[in-house]
């Protein structure tokens, strides 16, 4: 960015959009949710830009509690994680190995519309490739690990 500004792009992410399905196991207080998502964080300032993007596939098992609450845990497999930036005319691209993470979530059912949920995701990203247009930039070593763990609020719509 400019000399007087510093901004941060996090691996945890800012926005996530997805589609999925939820299965209720009859009268049992259990449900299963499967989803495919697009998650990203980005920053733009004049001619400078940076982003971190990936595609998580998630599976969560929930215990449905009294009072419209549910608590769940599950796993996610993240595909095609990529960080890119163009700052002061220098472009960089970091590719990451596909990774697995774990999810813990608590939600409240806002009938009949869907769920409001608070979740924690634990995952790490391992650098697979690095490229830059700079001749002086210090390269990001292959094998470097970045923590992508994050906390988020979700709005899940049902019909």
Per-residue pLDDT of 29-53, as tens digits, reads 999 999 999 999 888 887 889 999 9
> What does pTM read for this prediction?
0.84
Nearest to 107 by CA among 122, 118, 96: 118
Domain definitions of the chain by residue range:
15-157
Residue 2: what pLDDT?
A: 40
Q: Is the CA virtual torsion 20, 84, 104, 74 positive or negative?
A: positive
Q: What per-residue confidence (pLDDT) applies to 12?
A: 58
For the CA atoms of 116, 122, 128, 133, the dihedral, rounded to the nearest 10 degrees, stands at 60
Find the mean pLDDT for residues 76-81: 97
Residue recorded with tokens 């960089």: 92
């Amino acid at each position: 960015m400019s000399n007087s500004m510093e901004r941060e792009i996090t691996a945890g992410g800012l926005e996530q959009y997805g589609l999925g399905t939820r299965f209720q196991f009859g009268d049992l207080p259990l449900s299963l949710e499967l989803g495919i998502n697009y998650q990203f964080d980005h920053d733009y300032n004049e001619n400078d830009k940076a982003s971190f993007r990936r595609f998580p596939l998630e599976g969560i098992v929930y215990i449905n509690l009294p009072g419209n609450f549910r608590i769940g845990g599950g796993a996610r497999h993240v595909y095609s994680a990529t960080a890119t930036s163009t700052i002061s005319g220098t472009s960089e691209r970091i590719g990451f190995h596909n990774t697995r993470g774990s999810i813990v979530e608590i939600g409240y059912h806002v009938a009949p519309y869907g769920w409001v949920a608070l979740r924690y995701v634990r995952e790490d990203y391992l650098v697979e490739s690095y490229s830059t247009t700079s001749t002086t930039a210090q390269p990001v070593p292959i094998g470097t690990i970045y923590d992508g763990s994050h906390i988020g609020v979700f709005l899940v719509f049902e019909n």
